[in-house]
Amino acid sequence: MEQPSQVGSLVCVGTGMMVGAHMAPLCQSHIEQADIVFVCVAEHYMEAWIMSLNANAVNLQPLYNEGKDRRHTYQQMCDAMLEQVKQGKKVVGAFYGHPGVFAKVPHQAIIEARELGFEAYMLPGISAEACLYADLNIDPGQFGCQHYEANQFLRYKRVIDTSGYLVLWQVGVAGDFSTAVFTSTKKQRSRLTDKLLQHYDADHTVIIYEAATLPIESFRASKVTLAALHEQEIHQHSTLVVPPQTPLVIDEYYQ
């Protein structure tokens, strides 16, 4: 068997949230110099821009299908990138936002590549979390901030501090544990409302947030009462922000 002419490598980079505005110069340089780029982004404009930087680009999005277990899709994505690494190519995986935030494939692909003896690492990008702090004028250091994936929040018992912010990600699929749909039903999402009502008042104001992906767009920040949450229009990329309801309490022991 003919040996590859170079040692393969894998770099997973973040594209940021906004097309043409958020990607770091180093990430762009890796894309431009790669032998092949695998693209997994939510916006067609972002995909087109990346492909303008490197013509040898493969879109991973078609691997997703309604009713198909996302875990199977993720492994297919990893396998596609690693096959090219094994062939001795400089491979770049370009992922929406930050490649290490709510993105299983980059982490798994890097682990598998390293186990095979290849160089593999990650470069950050501007995430939806970074945009959220800027758009909603929130400083997580002011009151503190807890972050959970919505279904993980539902599945497990958590100690919720209502004096800080609570941020729940991927609320668009909250209540559906099949990992095979793009959005859950209002009835399924009502389970999230019910659990939050164990900690917060029904009339407490929460925010449904979606970052802007184009410079001509505005971000979404829909304020609704908690009781009405599951009745709202919620998308796959929606994030729920629950502001503090109770004041901070001084711990006298440390005064």
Give which of 124, 127, 209, 203 is closest to 166, Cα–Cα.
209
CB 170 within 8 A of CB 151: yes
Determine which one of 96, 165, 200, 209 is catalytic: 96
Determine which one of 45, 64, 70, 133 is catalytic: 70
**CA 156 vs CA 79, 92, 159, 160: distances in Å:** 31, 35, 10, 12
- On the CB side of 136, CA atoms within 13 Å amount to 26
d(CA 116, CA 89): 14
d(CA 185, CA 232): 11
Does residue 70 have an active-site annotation? yes
Does residue 96 have an active-site annotation? yes
DSSP codes of every residue in 79-119 = HHHHHHHHTT-EEEEEESB-TTSS-HHHHHHHHHHHHTT-E
Determine which one of 45, 64, 71, 74 is catalytic: 74
Looking at the annotation, which residues are catalytic? 70, 74, 96
